[in-house]
């Protein structure tokens, strides 16, 4: 799984148009994979996942 934030940042760096077009994403992902310029997403487990969920819930109720 490729990190969506990394794809978005790469798209902004390589494409100076301000249009939002979901058709660009597969092309950007393919280029990142081809060039080896990607990071794997880190899937949280255990206490880390619970902390993230708790923080998200806390921000929603404030």
> What does the domain layout of the chain look like in residue ranges?
4-61
Q: Note the pLDDT tens digit of each residue in 5-61.
A: 777 777 776 665 556 666 777 887 788 888 887 777 788 899 999 999 999 999 999
Give the SS3 label for residue 23: coil
More confident residue, 47 or 2: 47
Spatial CA neighbour of 2 closest among 53, 58, 41, 28: 41
Positive or negative CA dihedral for 15, 21, 23, 29?
A: positive
Q: Is the pLDDT of residue 4 over 80?
A: no
**C-beta separation of 44 from 52 below 8 A:** yes
């Amino acid at each position: 799984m490729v990190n969506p934030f990394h794809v978005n940042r790469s798209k902004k760096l390589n494409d100076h148009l301000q249009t939002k077009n979901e058709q660009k994403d597969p092309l950007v992902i393919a280029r990142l994979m081809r060039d080896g310029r990607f990071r794997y997403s880190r899937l949280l487990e255990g206490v880390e996942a619970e902390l993230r969920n708790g923080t998200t819930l806390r921000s929603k109720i404030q």
